[in-house]
Amino acid sequence: MPKDILVRNVADNDADWIAGSLPPGMTQEGYVASLITRARITAETAPSKPKRRKRKTDFTFIDLFAGIGGFHMGLASNKGDCVFANEWDKFAVNTYKAWTGHENVSEEDIRTLNYENDIPDHDILCGGFPCQPFSIAGVSKKYSLGRAHGFDDERQGNLFFTICDIVAVKRPPILILENVKNLRSHDKGNTFNVISQMIDDLGYEMKAQIIDAQGWVPQHRERIFLVCFDREAFTEDEINSFKFPKIPVNGPRLSSILEQKAPDKKYMLTDNLWKYLQNYAAKHKVAGNGFGYGLVDGSNISRTMSARYYKDGSEILIKQKGFQNPRRLTPAEAAKLMGFNERFAKLMGFKVAFPHVVSDMQSYKQFGNSVSPLVTEAVSKEAVKVLKKMKTRKALDGKMK
């Protein structure tokens, strides 16, 4: 049964247009209703994402533990072509597909795949393998629950071994892996020693460096990057020519990602939550602990955004003019805080920004788990330089034979 709605405050020129274009024999009410129906059908049948522009590509890569595309965008900006992606979180897959346009994302447990047949050949294998078993927060939580951590974590920790299995089968020239800073010190360095030895046993030379994303985004976010080169594919000089990118000095401030207009007040903390966070911080200050909220304004950079940000937003709270209490970042601001900016949106075929395709809660979890595409872009740019040297050398060798 039709429902009545009342349209108020129609602009003069819009009202004049309706009056002037009214079809003979149709009432104004009927005409407005037809316009609404036409607009709805157009919106429902329109493509959910824009047409992707065809880009010139220089190399291929696969994206493991793909998340929402932090590696994909960084490598695509360096003219990489993603030939395979795997991610088992269905909400992250929704975002990945919508943002990158890569429809054929494998959602299976990566350990169950036939690596020879299911994964195409590629130049670069990249991925931020699950880090909770190695993170400071993850280890602390697992200790409190009496659960295993590191490589003893059956579901997540042993996924590094899966990467090694794939590498043994596909032999990509380059690996670019990312994890939390704590990977290097976990279990008194034993975890990192195992990783290093396994990479070496596979015949790869590993370069490792902890990089703070605050050179590119207004967020203190330290992550370790492992860039590994197949010794059979590269000469020693080519491998040694690789250098990690220099971290830009005087990086951006939060003002560069905060919305100009005050956002919806639903992002403001409730009185009860704000009181709880203040009391919690005061209690731990007395105890000599460093726990507490992070209250910032546009002149600051933020703490590291975590996957738990959706719970209370405590690590990054914004002083907002006109708001009684501080507020969380909006999902749009959180995207930019991670580096998913307008430039990458345009690269992926959008006009200005990435669409919001999941709930706020899922968005915050995804950003907290993601790697910054600005950092993967910088790291992969240096790795691709080495890849090009190798390809040029092999092309010249081929001509000389």
The single-letter DSSP state of residue 355 is -
Beta bridge mates, 207: 227
Nearest to 226 by CA among 80, 76, 376: 376
Alpha-carbon separation of residue 335 from 14, 103, 170, 219, 259 (angstroms): 36, 21, 33, 12, 12
**Which residue type is seen at 45?**
T
- Strand stretches in 216-274, DSSP E: 222-230
Cβ neighbours of 60 (radius 10 Å):
17
Pair 92, 366: CB distance under 8 Å? yes
Q: Which residue reads 């380059």 in tokens?
A: 174
131 is catalytic: yes
Q: Is 202 helix (H, G, I), strand (E, B) or coil?
A: coil
29-32, long-range: CB < 8 A, 24+ apart: 32/7
For the chain, the 3-state helix, strand and coil shares in percent, each to the nearest 5, are 45, 15, 40
Q: Which residue has the tokens 């522009």?
A: 53
* Inter-residue contact 325 to 270 (CB < 8 Å): yes
Six-digit token pair at 298? 């546009």
Residue 226 to residues 129, 168, 195, 236, 372: CA-CA distances in angstroms? 11, 17, 10, 18, 15
- Which residue in 82, 126, 131, 228 is the catalytic one? 131
From the centroid of its chain, how far is CA 268? 25
What is the residue type of 11? A
CB 348, CB 99: distance < 8 Å: yes
- The number of residues in the chain equals 401
| Side chain identity at residue 60, one-letter code | T
CB atoms within 10 A of CB 353: 15
Q: Which residues are catalytic?
A: 131
